[in-house]
Amino acid sequence: MSSSNTVTRTLINLDQFRVVSRDLTKGTFTGGAFTAVAYALLLLLLIAELRAFLRKNYQTNIIMDQNNDELIQINFDILMYDLPCKYLKIGVWDRFGEEKINSTDQFHYIPVDHKGQYKGMA
């Protein structure tokens, strides 16, 4: 038996893309080839994911702000529909979440209804 005939027979037996049960169908060379390619891709993906998981390459970059001003102005709008202003509080933390930054109470709370329409002062 030649080696190409053995490869062909192996691929036919390897065919996993059958529509009907193995008892009622026979494998094809094309189906076996697709199965072999699918298994090879799965193996390649497994190796790539394991390699990426086991690689220990961590890098942290900290860039200091070149702005020497003592205060920085931040403007933002947050809409909390139909929520009374007395239940709202704004907290400012540093980038690492370890230290609360003393922020001034220059916040303006403006009540709005469920459609975002102005309802008066808080």
**61 domain residue, yes or no:** no
**Does 47 reside within a domain?**
yes
For residue 97, tell me if it sits in a domain: no
Note the pLDDT tens digit of each residue in 45-91: 999 999 988 887 777 777 777 777 777 777 777 777 777 777 777 77
Tokens of 80: 């909390």
Give the list of residues 6+ apart from residue 121 with CB closer than 8 angstroms, or none. Answer: 110, 111
Confidence at residue 80, expressed as pLDDT on a 0 to 100 scale: 73
Residue 36 in domain:
yes
Secondary structure class of 112 (helix, strand, coil): strand
| Residue 109 in domain | no
Would the pLDDT of 122 be above 60? no
Residue 94 falls inside a structural domain = no
Backbone angles phi, psi at 58, to 5 degrees: -105, 140
- Tell me the CA distances in angstroms from 78 to 48, 100, 110, 115, 121, one per residue in order: 43, 20, 10, 14, 16
Residue 73 located in a structural domain: no
How large is the average pLDDT for residues 84-113?
Answer: 73
Q: Domain range for residue 24?
A: 3-54
Quick check: is 66 in a domain?
A: no
Total domains in the fold of the chain: 1
